[in-house]
Amino acid sequence: MSEEEPELIPAKWIEIYHYCPRIIYYMGVLGARERETAYMREGRMEEECEEEKEKRRKTLLAKRKEKVIEKWTNLKLYSQKLGIVGVVDMLVKTEEGLKVVDIKNTAKKKLSSGYLYQTTAYAILAQEHFKKPVKNIIIYYTKNDKIFEIKITDQIKEHTIWTIKRIKEIIEKAKMPKTKRKRQCKGCGYYHLCRGL
């Protein structure tokens, strides 16, 4: 990447946007970083050792019983066109084609929209990189053993691209998005900045 090229947005910010768009303002405009709360710690896996991550990947693949022809792990991908960068936890080639796998350290009951659009962004990145269609994503919740396999529709893809545009807009215009006080505020690591606004 040359120095003139604009900074790429981490794909993880797509998930954050769906948690609360105001956090994008705090991170992308003010350069603030969260105070880690117990709630946020739940989802954090970056510090986990590779050995542990590999164990989780193996558990997931064994549960699915789908033949894996080839697999890639910790695959760093970026797209200048989209303006994002991300590390794909696992990409597998199966008889149905390429699938992106994202492992989340959570016990949520439902598939969260943030995870859906973040993983779809990885699929778009992988598709651009391999020049092959990536039609499915798999999201695995480790704490309750839930596996979601989703076929990426045009609508999901369009909403992912829309989210990326919104993130860029917040950063470029440096305008704090409006939000309502909500359930997420309780566990938010930016509450100390937001309080009273």
Q: Is 190 in the site for ligand SF4 (CB under 6 A)?
A: yes
Question: Per rule CB under 6 A, is residue 28 in the interface with ligand SF4?
Answer: no
Q: How many residues bind ligand SF4 (CB under 6 A)?
A: 10
Q: Is 15 left (phi over 0), alpha (psi -120 to 50) or beta?
A: alpha
From 67-75, 117-125, 159-167, 178-186, span contacting ligand SF4 (CB under 6 A): 178-186
Q: Which residues of 141-170 are buried (b: 16+ CB within 10 A; e: fewer)?
A: bbeeebebebebeeebbebbbebbeebbeb
Is 37 near ligand SF4 (CB under 6 A)? no
Query: Distances in Å between the alpha carbon of 80 and those of 50, 144, 160, 191?
Result: 28, 36, 16, 33
Among 20, 92, 137, 152, binds ligand SF4 (CB under 6 A): 20
In the complex with ligand SF4, which residue's Cβ is closer, 22 or 104?
Answer: 22
Task: Select from 96, 108, 101 the least CA-distant residue to 123.
Answer: 101
**Region binding ligand SF4 by CB under 6 A among candidate stretches 62-70, 76-84, 100-108, 187-195:** 187-195
Q: Which window, 40-48, 122-130, 136-144, 180-188, contacts ligand SF4 (CB under 6 A)?
A: 180-188
Considering the rule CB under 6 A, would residue 179 count as an interface residue with ligand SF4?
yes
Q: Residue 169: how many CA atoms within 13 Å on its side-chain side?
A: 10
Residues in 91-130 at the binding interface with ligand SF4, rule: CB under 6 A: none
185 binds ligand SF4 (CB under 6 A): yes
22 sits near ligand SF4 (criterion: CB under 6 A):
yes
Q: In this structure, what token pair is assigned to residue 134?
A: 């990536």
Question: Residue 15 or residue 89: which is nearer to ligand SF4 going by CB?
Answer: 15
Helical ranges in the chain per DSSP H:
12-19, 21-24, 38-43, 50-64, 113-130, 154-173, 191-194
> Would you tell me which residues interact with ligand SF4 (CB under 6 A)?
20, 22-23, 179, 184-185, 188, 190-191, 194
